Structure 1
């Protein structure tokens, strides 16, 4: 059961990708090379206030939702995110989006 975000299983990915930050979070495991030790920068040209707002939204909305759906496992102590139990079954749609990134509207990813 998905708690307050009760969505039919076939719609969970569509619900998850409705926000740009969640799309970026779900795309990252597809392109991240584990040998790269540099942190991922999602939006480098944000102001300090925008960055703070984004971090608050990540911690209190986006990461919990993606974890609830089983797409990620989020270690809140270390802020590390890894693939969740349902990530692989959603991989084909995520790869389709990532493979056609250059055809998407600006700001979509």
Structure 2
């Protein structure tokens, strides 16, 4: 049953476009600054309340799962201790992006 939990967590992490964009951005091993993430809603000027809501929903969820490490003070995101569990799925999706009948990002 442990594998089921991991599979559910991986698919849950990938369920929201904002989280997928962030996770795909981490594939190249470079730390990501929250304010510089291209195409991620919290990098687009919007109301402060909306930005705070995005931070409180998506970033903590990925941080708590261990897929990312989020330095809240520096607003820097790096691969978390469990990123290796989601990385093969991200790579597979990324490699087959043109073949998929869905829009990933």
For normalisation by structure 2, the TM-score amounts to 0.74
Separation in 1, partners of 2:86, 2:56: 23
Distance in 1 between residues matched to 2:30 and 2:62, nearest whole Å: 21
CA RMSD of the aligned region, Å?
2.8
Instruction: Could you list the structure 1 runs, at least 4 aligned residues long, displaced by more than 3 angstroms after superposition.
Output: 31-34, 46-52
Structure 2 alignment gaps of length 5 or more: none
Q: Does residue 1:78 correspond to 2:74, yes or no?
A: yes
Structure showing the higher helix proportion among its residues: 2
Aligned partner of 2:13 in structure 1 is 16
Output aligned runs, 1:1-109, within 5 Å.
8-31=5-28, 39-43=36-40, 48-49=45-46, 53=50, 55-104=51-100, 105-106=102-103, 108-109=104-105
CA distance in structure 2 between the aligned counterparts of 1:72 and 1:40, rounded to whole angstroms: 14
TM-score normalised by the chain length of structure 1: 0.71
